Amino acid sequence: MAIAAVLLLTAAVCASAAWAGSLRVLVRHTPNKTETNRTAKTIDRIVIHDTEGRFIGSVRALQNARREASAHFVVSRRGQIVQLVPIRDVAWHSGNSRWNLHSIGIEHEGWADRRGSYTKAEYQASAKLVAYLAHRWGVPLDRRHIVGHAEVPDPRHRGLYGGVSHHTDPGPYWNWRYYMKLVRFYSKNRVLPTFVHSMTLRDSPAPRATPRPTRPVVDRGARLRGKVLWWSGIDAWRRASRHIWKVEFMVDGKVLYTDHTWPFSFHRTVGWDSRTVPNGRHMLTVRAYGTHRYRVRKRIPVRVANPPLRLRVVGAVAGGAVQGMLRLGARLNEPVDRVMLYADGKPVSRDSTAPYSLVWDTTAQDEGGHRLVVYARDRHGHRASLDLPVVVANAPTFPDALSRNWVTHHVVVPGTDYVGPGLIE
């Protein structure tokens, strides 16, 4: 009996050593949950979220019944942890009811689009918690079972992710490699959480926002030119509270682009090309769709003022003499779909690839004056043209027909045997 008691005491000491260190978790409550009696057979995943807001404010928001959202835990940038929903109950966190039923949701104080949003203390506290939860509830420690909110399938649209609202958290600045390394470390050096009912919560300074591009942006009354950034104006709170899942971008009543991923913008950082419409006033519209038939529309009147298409020609000058195979280069301030060369009203050459080059065989033309026109057009209908009068002079002697407009005299070209007519304009 004495030996058995010693063995039991030794096992207890070893178990305590295995759960070294401390991790305090403040227990609070929220009405936003579904009371169940889940077991380890029910739970198979842990979903990582970010709050898109400060720690204390996010905890209070998830306790608000009107938000209809919650998570099992919230982790701060200082490493503090609050539990809002018991593990055996279902939290409303993923935007997918099936995933809610089978997963544990953990929110992290941070912003998906801000570099440096997540701290070392936050990673460590979260990793200790996840290592404990995975051990307690039998969740495998791999990226198939510990996932980001952005990896949760949309239950209504096959092939889309981020839940029904297409969330992108925890975002590109969440260091998965570092985090999973910490989780595996704490799975071998476990830390047993201490659940308390009293703890002072502290907000930490928010990280600096990623500087916004200096490119022009779509705004009410803005004067636009070139490619401009166009954001929906839907912030994280409105996206979450209204469960917005789709935003359409319209120009003069026509839908040009649809985005299903927050922060809902026109072609992300590419933006809208204002050169696709004529200069002048235009009405831009953002139309958002949420759950429960939620619809909202915002109109944005703007003025487009792009510089005109400018055309310059090299290889010949107006009124100049040309001969042989004439090669012209067209230089434009914007890319175009095609450049055409017309000689006396007839098309003779075309090019659709920059640098634009045009060719005209003057040897098949009558001696004397001809009218060339270089014409350019882009895919949006903007046009430019340039008149280029030239004189074809392929004959070895100066044509009598031109003598009325040109003064001729004989010149001697040094170093050659050439003696012939010279031209003075």
Residues 268 and 333 in one domain: no
Say yes or no: 83 and 153 in one domain: yes
* Mean pLDDT, range 265-279, rounded to an integer: 88
CATH at 249: 2.60.40.10
The answer to whether position 290 is within a domain reads yes
- Range with lowest mean pLDDT among 3-12, 191-200, 286-295: 3-12
Contacts of 2 (CB under 8 A, 6+ apart): none
Q: Is residue 78 part of a domain?
A: yes
Summarised one tens digit per residue, pLDDT across range 37-49 is 999 999 999 999 9
Report the mean per-residue pLDDT for the chain.
Answer: 85
The answer to whether residue 313 is domain-embedded is: no
DSSP state of 208: P
pLDDT at 255 over 90: yes
Beta carbons of 271 and 259 less than 8 angstroms apart: no
Residue 315: pLDDT over 60: yes
Which of 14-18, 121-125, 292-296 comes out lowest in average pLDDT? Answer: 14-18
The two tokens of residue 33 are 């949950």
What does each C-alpha distance from 161 to 44, 136, 154 come to in angstroms? 19, 28, 5
CA-CA distances (angstroms) from residue 377 to 68, 309, 341?
54, 9, 12
First to last CA, the chain: 126
Q: Give percent above pLDDT 70 in the chain.
A: 87
What pLDDT is attached to residue 195? 95
Indicate if 231 and 278 belong to the same structural domain: yes
Q: Are residues 79 and 134 in the same domain?
A: yes
Whether residues 36 and 159 fall in one domain: yes
Asked if residue 172 and residue 44 are part of one domain, the reply reads yes
Residue 408 in domain: no
Does any domain span residue 214?
no
The CATH number of residue 180's host domain is 3.40.80.10
For residue 98, give both structure tokens: 């099936």
Residues 44 and 181 in one domain: yes
In a shared domain, residues 21 and 81 = yes
Q: Is residue 269 part of a domain?
A: yes
User: Quick check: 332 pLDDT over 80?
Assistant: yes
Which of 132, 141, 140 has its CA nearest to residue 18?
Answer: 132
Token output for 51:
């709050």
Q: Check pLDDT > 90 for residue 371.
A: yes
Q: Are residues 264 and 328 in the same domain?
A: no
Question: What one-letter code names the amino acid at 109?
Answer: E
For every residue of 242-297, DSSP letters joined together read HT--EEEEEETTEEEEEE-STT-BTTTTT-EEGGGS-SEEEEEEEEEE-STT-EEE
**Same domain for 325 and 189:** no
Average confidence (pLDDT) over 143-165: 90
- pLDDT, residue 402, reads 55
Residue 309 lies in a domain: no
Q: Examine the pLDDT at 413 and tell me if it is beyond 60.
A: no
Cβ(378)–Cβ(334) below 8 Å: yes
Judge whether 358 and 341 are in contact, CB under 8 Å. yes
Structural domains of the chain, count: 3
- Would you say residue 318 has pLDDT above 90? no
Closest CA to 76 of 31, 30, 120, 21: 120
Cβ 95 vs Cβ 163: under 8 Å? yes
Domain of residue 245, residue span: 223-304
pLDDT tens column, 66-118 = 888 999 999 999 999 999 999 999 999 999 999 999 999 999 999 888 888 99
Mean pLDDT confidence for 328-349: 91
Catalytic residues: 107
Q: Give residue 361's pLDDT.
A: 94
Residues 271 and 356 occupy one common structural domain: no
Classify residue 346: in a domain, yes or no.
Answer: yes
Is the pLDDT reported for residue 181 higher than 60?
yes
Regarding whether 91 and 187 lie in a shared domain, the answer is yes
Q: Band of the pLDDT at 341, cuts 50, 70, 90?
A: very high
Condensed to tens digits (0 to 9), the pLDDT of residues 56-75 reads 999 999 999 988 899 999 99
Domain end marker among 304, 330, 351:
304
